Amino acid sequence: MLVLGIETSCDETAVALYDSQRGLLGELVYTQQIHADYGGVVPELASRDHVRKLLPMLKDLLGEKGLVVDDLDAVAYTAGPGLVGALLVGAGFGRSLAWALGLPSVAVHHLEGHLLATGLEVSPPEMPFLALLVSGGHTLLVRVDAIGEYEIIGQSLDDAVGEAFDKTAKLLGLGYPGGPEVAALARQGDASRWRFPRPMVDRPGLDMSFSGLKTFVLTTWRDCEAQQRSSTRREDRNRDKADICACFEQAVVETLVIKCRRALQQSGMQRLVIAGGVGANQALRAGLARLAEELDVGLFYPQPGFCTDNAAMIAFAGARRLQAGEFEETRIAARPRWDVAALQAPGKPRTSADTNRLQVGSSV
| 139 touches Zn ion (CB under 5 A) | no
For residues 299 and 288, the answer to whether their CB atoms sit within 8 Å is yes
**Residue 152: closest CA among 160, 162, 143:** 143
Q: Tell me the closest approach of the beta carbon of residue 105 to Zn ion, in angstroms.
A: 20
**Residue 168: closest CA among 217, 216, 210:** 217
- Window of 22-30, 158-166, 197-205, 230-238 that interacts with ligand KG4 by CB under 6 A: 158-166
* Rounded Cα–Cα distance for residues 214 and 231 (Å): 26
Q: Tell me the closest approach of the beta carbon of residue 309 to Zn ion, in angstroms.
A: 4
| 302 touches ligand KG4 (CB under 6 A) | no
Residue 310's binding partner out of ligand KG4, Zn ion, none, with CB under 5 to 8 Å set by partner kind: none
- Window of 115-123, 173-181, 290-298, 319-327 that interacts with ligand KG4 by CB under 6 A: 173-181
Q: Tell me the closest approach of the beta carbon of residue 314 to Zn ion, in angstroms.
A: 10
Window 116-135: contact mask with Zn ion (x via CB under 5 A): -------------------x
| 177 touches ligand KG4 (CB under 6 A) | yes
Residue 8's binding partner out of Zn ion, ligand KG4, none, with CB under 5 to 8 Å set by partner kind: none
Task: Map residue 151 onto helix, strand or coil.
Answer: strand
Which residues, 27 to 86, sit near ligand KG4 by CB under 6 A?
none
| 137 touches ligand KG4 (CB under 6 A) | yes
- Window of 178-186, 232-240, 288-296, 331-339 that interacts with ligand KG4 by CB under 6 A: 178-186
Which residues does 213 contact at the CB level (< 8 Å), separation at least 6?
A: 164, 168, 196, 197, 199, 248, 251, 252
Window 291-310: contact mask with Zn ion (x via CB under 5 A): ------------------x-
Q: Tell me the closest approach of the beta carbon of residue 301 to Zn ion, in angstroms.
A: 14
**What is the secondary structure of 23-65 as a DSSP string?**
EEEEEEEEE--TTGGGTS--HHHHHHHHHHHHHHHHHHHHHHT
**Residue 99: closest CA among 72, 79, 122, 119:** 72
Q: Tell me the closest approach of the beta carbon of residue 46 to ligand KG4, in angstroms.
A: 12
* Rounded Cα–Cα distance for residues 205 and 200 (Å): 9
CA 58 to chain centroid: 22
Provide the H-helix boundaries in 65-160: 84-101, 110-116
Residue 216 DSSP code: H
Give the nearer residue to Zn ion in terms of CB position, either 291 or 314: 314
